Each structure stands twice: as structure tokens, then as C-alpha cells.
């Protein structure tokens, strides 16, 4: 098993540090500029952003399928929205994000790819429409012939709702150029609308080929105690996310999953995966084929290294998917504050190759399909959202998911090799590194 040596001195947390930590992770406005054009689409030999896209998807509007266990609310105009409250039932529906101002499809594609855009493009959440809602968990327990059992009515309601979800996904599959799902799990202090904007822009630059699913959990309370509340919400949501993943694997038409989690969402997703994989192994001896061929992306993971050792390595959860990419950055201020807040040895989101022992690196090399990528480029003010705000990091995400490339120049992802299984990228990526001995 991998073992990471203690590398950071534990420091006493002052009240001001807690407040700063929360400010560093405060969510952005619900309306904001579209992310920069990824570097991968620049240059004469760059791939096309959109290929064989059906007319139904050529629009300034992006229709996301969302799944949530946030409590439904209404805004001042009486429209459906979701807050940070925890709902005992999981719901799904349509969230429509638009890229403004409205323009022709040809102009939208052209301006999207401009490094210095001639027209500012902004994202906004236009509408939310709930399609179905599962029964509450835990379901009611009733006596049948003197035996305590789950209420058959709740079981039937769940079956019907599952069918409704599957029908909606199959409807979307008719327009997808790839029978695959991109599922995004956001991090701490993200309200519903902000999480939707992130997935919408990432999916746009993925070429709009897959079915985008936003899994949004009850985060975003804010304030000095917001992180504690959201952390508990992350524990609360795991049961629902696990049930969703189990349900999705039953749709035979889906060939592959791309699972992306950011920040605190990495803990939510990996815990749900761990429980699901262990259950499937115990029940069927193996996990569903569609899940085992999936790609796992952990961006700026807000997870203690010791937890990662136990959850992903010791129990061999990494065998449950085809490959995993972990993005880290020593410049990530939010992760640094989390280390101090929880007095961690270190958190995965800030680990660098210099902090790895030979034993660690040897273990990574022997685990097929795991790549740790250290981002060394320019970041936003917190250094925490680079996976979509950096044109270099978003390019690697695209090469990994859209094109299925593995790390290494010879595989189509010209990352700089630092050590076995450990790579780096700079701002000019994916320009080939000057020296790459792979």
C-alpha cells in the first residue's frame, strides 16, 4: 500500500484563517463569462470543436440533465430553484443554461474559440424543470405477515421513477453522437446554478458529444460554518449518488461513464464508488461493464492523503474503472487552507512529486491507469478551479475524455514526465514538452 510521509507542519488555526478559508471557496456569481478557449483547439492542425453534431444541439442553449437531493424552493418570481437544504428524496430534471448574447451557430462556434474574444460570451441559468422524484429515504417500514419489510408501495414508486429517468436518458441518447455519460459532482459552497454553469461550459468544449449529467448535492450554505455544513451534506448525499450510479449502469445503451469530481465533490464521488464497487463485488463478483470501462477525474481533490490510501488503494477501488487522472497544484490556496483547517498531513489536491517517496512512486507505476498531473500554470485568485479556467488544464481534460488519450506524448497527451505515473503541465500545454523520455 502507498504511504505518504508527513510533509506539512501542523499549525494552530485562528478564527481569521477559518473565515479566509471560506472566502477562498466562495462561489462565483450565477452569471459569468464563458471559460477561456482550451489550447487544444488552437493552431492550424487543431481538431474541430464540433463534428457531426445534430441540429437539435446547435444552439446557444445547453440542456443539462440534473439529479439532486437539495430541497426544492421557489424564487421571488415563483420559479423552481434549489437551495442548500437537504431533501430526503432525490429528484431529476432539466436545467437550461444559455450562452449570451444569442447569435448564429457559426458565430458562436467561432467566437467560442477566440483567445481574445471579439464579443464577450456569458453564461446564465435560464430555467429549471423537475421531471421526476424518487420516494424518500429511508422508505417506510411496514408489517407484512408479522415481518418488518420495506413498504411495497415505496418499492413500486422507485421502480416507476427509475423507468422515467431511463426514458429521459434514452431520449437524450437519440441526439448524442456518443452513447456515453459525462457526470459532474461539484465541490464545497457551490449553489445549484454555479455548478450548472461549470458543467455546461465544460460540455460545450467537449464538443457536446455525450449526455451531460449534473449531480448537485446540498452545498452552498456559506459563512464561517459553511464548510462544516457542506462536509456533513457530503456524507448525507452518498446514499443517493450511489443509487443513481447503480441505476445508470442498468441502461444497456450506455457504453461508458466519464466521472468528474471537483474539490470536496471528490470525496463524495469516491465514497459512493467505493460502496458501490464493494457491494457489486460481494453480490455479483464483478462490477457492471459500463462502470468498469469508465474514466475517473479528480480535480483539485480536497481529500486527506491517508483517506485516499485507504479508500482507493488498499481496497483496490481503482480496479473498478479503466483509468483515473488526478489533478493537483501546489498553488491551490483553498487546499492549503483545508490542510491547516483539518490539520492534515497533506491533501491530495496539493501533492507534488518532490513530496513522494520512491516507494510511493513505485506503487503508482505498478497501478495501471492512474496518472497524477501537477498543474504549474497560471491560476485564478484561489488557484482552485484551474481544471476549467485554465486553457491548458481544460485541454488535458478534453484529451482524456473526448479523445480517450493516455498520458505521454506517444499516447496523444504530451505531458512532462516527472516520475513513473507523475506528470506536469505548463500554460502552453498541449505543446509538446522540450524533453519527454516516454
Residue with cell 430553484: 81
State the Cα–Cα distance between residues 99 and 107, nearest whole angstrom.
12
Low-confidence ranges of the chain (pLDDT < 70): 1-29, 224, 285-290, 311, 318-320, 339-345, 359-368, 432-438
State the Cα–Cα distance between residues 391 and 395, nearest whole angstrom.
6
- Grid coordinates of 160: 416507476
Per-residue buried b or exposed e for 371-399, using 16+ beta carbons within 10 Å of the residue's own CB: bbbbbbbebeebbbbbbbbbbbbbbbbbb
Task: Spell out the residues 6+ positions from residue 207 whose beta carbon is closer than 8 angstroms to its own.
Answer: 49, 50, 51, 53, 177, 402
- Grid coordinates of 31: 452569471
Specify the pLDDT at position 17.
46
Specify the pLDDT at position 234.
95
Cα within 13 Å of Cα(135), Cβ side: 15
CB 58 within 8 A of CB 212: no
CB 254 within 8 A of CB 283: no
Per DSSP, the residues of 309-334 read: IIIIIITTGGGGSSEEEEEE-TT-HH
State the Cα–Cα distance between residues 388 and 203, nearest whole angstrom.
11
Which H or E run includes 412? strand 412-413
Which long-range contacts (C-beta less than 8 Å, at least 24 apart) are formed by 107-112?
108/60, 109/49, 109/50, 112/34, 112/37, 112/49, 112/204, 112/205
Residue with cell 496518472: 371
pLDDT tens, position by position, 24-47: 444 445 789 999 999 999 998 899
Return the bridge partners of 212, or none. Answer: 182
Q: Is 120 exposed, middle or buried (0-12, 13-18, 19+ CB in 10 A)?
A: exposed
State the Cα–Cα distance between residues 145 and 129, nearest whole angstrom.
41
- Grid coordinates of 52: 457531426
Answer yes or no: pTM beyond 0.85: yes
Specify the pLDDT at position 29.
52
Pairing status of strand 122-133 against strand 80-100: antiparallel
pLDDT tens, position by position, 63-76: 999 999 999 999 99
- Grid coordinates of 36: 477561456
CA angle 218, 281, 291 (to 5 degrees): 60
- Grid coordinates of 44: 492550424
Task: Spell out the residues 6+ positions from residue 309 whose beta carbon is closer than 8 angstroms to its own.
Answer: 1, 2, 3, 4
Indicate left, alpha or beta for 352 from its phi (over 0: left) and psi (-120 to 50: alpha): beta
Specify the pLDDT at position 72.
97
Specify the pLDDT at position 431.
86
Residue with cell 462561489: 27
Residue with cell 487522472: 325
CB 31 within 8 A of CB 124: yes
State the Cα–Cα distance between residues 372 and 265, nearest whole angstrom.
18
Amino acid at each position: 500500500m502507498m504511504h505518504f510521509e508527513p510533509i506539512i507542519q501542523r499549525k494552530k488555526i485562528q478564527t481569521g484563517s477559518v473565515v479566509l478559508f471560506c472566502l477562498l471557496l466562495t462561489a462565483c456569481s450565477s452569471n459569468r463569462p464563458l471559460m477561456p478557449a482550451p489550447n487544444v483547439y488552437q493552431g492550424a492542425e487543431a481538431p474541430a470543436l464540433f463534428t457531426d453534431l445534430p441540429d437539435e444541439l446547435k444552439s446557444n442553449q445547453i440542456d443539462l440533465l440534473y439529479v439532486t437531493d437539495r430541497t426544492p424552493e421557489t424564487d421571488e418570481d415563483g420559479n423552481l430553484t434549489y437551495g442548500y437544504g437537504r431533501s430526503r428524496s432525490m429528484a431529476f430534471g432539466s436545467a437550461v443554461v444559455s450562452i449570451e448574447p444569442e447569435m448564429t451557430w457559426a458565430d458562436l462556434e467561432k467566437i467560442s474559440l477566440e483567445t481574445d474574444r471579439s464579443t464577450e460570451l456569458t453564461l446564465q441559468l435560464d430555467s429549471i424543470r423537475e421531471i421526476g422524484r424518487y420516494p424518500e429515504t429511508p422508505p417506510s417500514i411496514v408489517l407484512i405477515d408479522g415481518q418488518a419489510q420495506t413498504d411495497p408501495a415505496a418499492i413500486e414508486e422507485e421502480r416507476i421513477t427509475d423507468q422515467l429517468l431511463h426514458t429521459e436518458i434514452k431520449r437524450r441518447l437519440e441526439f448524442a453522437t456518443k452513447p456515453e455519460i459525462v457526470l459532474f459532482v461539484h465541490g464545497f459552497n457551490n449553489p445549484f446554478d454555479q455548478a450548472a454553469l461549470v458543467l455546461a461550459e465544460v460540455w460545450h468544449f467537449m464538443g457536446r458529444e455525450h449526455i451531460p449529467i449534473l449531480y448537485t448535492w446540498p452545498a452552498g450554505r456559506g459563512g464561517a460554518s459553511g464548510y462544516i455544513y457542506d462536509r456533513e451534506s457530503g456524507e448525507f448525499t452518498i446514499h443517493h449518488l450511489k443509487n443513481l450510479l447503480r441505476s445508470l449502469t442498468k441502461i444497456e445503451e450506455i457504453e461508458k461513464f466519464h466521472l468528474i469530481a471537483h474539490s470536496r465533490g471528490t470525496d463524495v464521488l469516491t465514497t459512493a464508488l467505493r460502496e458501490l464497487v464493494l457491494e457489486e463485488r460481494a453480490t455479483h463478483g464483478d462490477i457492471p461493464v459500463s462502470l468498469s470501462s469508465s474514466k475517473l477525474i479528480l480535480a483539485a481533490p480536497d481529500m486527506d492523503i491517508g483517506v485516499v490510501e485507504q479508500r482507493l488503494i488498499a481496497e483496490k477501488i481503482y480496479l473498478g474503472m479503466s483509468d483515473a487522472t488526478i489533478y493537483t497544484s501546489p498553488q491551490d490556496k483553498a487546499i492549503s487552507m483545508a490542510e491547516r483547517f483539518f490539520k492534515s498531513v497533506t491533501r491530495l489536491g496539493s501533492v507534488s512529486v518532490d513530496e513522494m517517496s520512491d516507494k510511493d512512486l513505485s506503487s503508482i507505476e505498478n497501478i495501471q491507469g492512474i496518472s497524477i498531473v501537477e498543474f504549474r500554470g497560471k491560476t485564478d485568485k484561489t488557484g482552485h478551479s484551474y481544471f476549467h479556467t485554465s486553457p491548458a488544464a481544460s485541454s488535458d481534460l478534453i484529451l482524456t475524455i473526448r479523445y480517450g488519450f493516455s498520458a505521454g506524448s506517444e499516447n496523444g497527451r504530451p505531458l512532462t514526465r516527472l516520475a513513473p505515473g507523475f506528470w506536469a503541465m505548463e500554460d502552453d500545454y498541449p505543446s509538446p514538452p522540450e524533453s519527454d523520455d516516454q
